[in-house]
Amino acid sequence: MKLKLLDLFCGAGGMSLGFHLTKKYRVVGAIDNWKPALETYKYNFPDVPIENILLDSVDDVFEEKNTKYDNFRNKLLKEKIDIIIGGPPCQGMSLAGKRLNDDPRNQLFKSFVKAVNFCKPKAFVMENVPGLLSTNDGNLNKAILEHFKNIGYSHFESHKPTILRSEQYGVPQIRRRLFYLGFRKDIDASNLNWPPKPSHLKYIKSKNKVEGIRDLFDDIETLPYPVNVYEAISDLPKLNSGEGSITLDYDDNDDNLSSYQHMIRNWKSCPRKNEKPKVYNHEASNHTQKLIDKIKITECGMSVDDKYHDSKKWNPKAPGYTVKALGAGGGSTNRRAFHYSKSQARGSTIRENARIQSFPDWFFFKGSKTDQMSQVGNAVPPFLAKAIATSLFKKFEKDEN
């Protein structure tokens, strides 16, 4: 069986991709109001009917008085959506000094609730920033849970909103994301492993060593250390500042690939059939000589520019830093990672950031470089989404048997 999926605030499609990679879900539709991300989504999900990928506001689409979307909503009802996924943008979660109902940005999560209420799926997965739990003294989190309970989605006592660590699920990146998982009230939520069991240890930086700490699971077996930056990107074509192209050939070094690189270079999951394996979106920005010299003398793991603490040089022996949106173009060091090798003194490319986010190499990003960088940075790491999708599918598979 395949479960039917609807992706809200889909962006470039990180969550959709994670579910797609399990081969257990079929994406029925997707909605986002940012055109560059949606162009990327359409290109990489050709099996989703193009008329079901909407460049619109989620709130507008599920406003039943708005007859413009009658056909789309009727399709969803006919399909009987099983799962709704998505991440309302975190910018709308800042509520300092305001009552919850006074901030119009709350429509971001309320529109997700509205869509769930309309489609009545078996379950939903909503993603956001970990800070949401403490926003407004925890009142926003309480309001979200209350809104879902009011439309018949509960069981939150048995699977509370949970912060997951990306590196524990095979993503070569130190990234924390918050996930809400809810089930329709007629669905038995007991048949579920939540949170998903990790495939790797947690990354702890202590005296330049990686230590594994088991905090979520008592019965966990010995697991490998997290995937590091070297294991993630060392096989990519070497570039200097200003070099690269939107399409490149792989270097002839297949014998030295890490297990992660073998997975990320697997084109069997590419929905665009008969496409020859290439390296996409691997272009280095043009830096000044002053910046190049500064990158060369900076130690791995340290900031290249003291003004920007986000501008760190990757440590090849550790997972990458959180991939941020923005800052892809020009000479700006703000919110940029830098390559660990002195022979490649430059900022990270879109493809390298995509590798750190666990996007497979066949996933092609459209738009300007800045748009592409934001699409990568805003996405849920596909391997993290895949772990959630796998755990969720096993639950429904057990229900069927």
Residue whose tokens read 């200097």: 240
DSSP string, 204-266: -EETTEE-----S-SSPPP-PPPPPHHHHHTTSPP--TT-EEEEEPPPS-GGG--HHHHHHT-
pLDDT tens across 3-43, in order?
A: 999 999 999 999 999 999 999 999 999 999 999 999 999 99
Q: What is the dihedral of CA 74, 80, 86, 89, to 10 degrees?
A: 30
Catalytic machinery residues: 90
Higher-confidence residue of 144 and 157: namely 144
Q: Which fold has domain 229-378?
A: DNA Methylase; Chain A, domain 2 (3.90.120)
Ranges for all domains in the chain classified under CATH 3.90.120.10: 229-378
Specify the CATH superfamily of domain 3-200+382-400. Vaccinia Virus protein VP39 (3.40.50.150)
Q: Which residues pair with 6 in a beta bridge?
A: 29, 84
pTM of the complete model beyond 0.85: yes
pLDDT band at 139 (very low <50, low <70, confident <90, very high): confident
Closest Cα partner for 13 from 66, 99, 79, 87? 87
Ranges for all domains in the chain classified under CATH 3.40.50.150: 3-200+382-400
- Tokens for 128? 């956001």
Average pLDDT of the residues in 345-350: 95
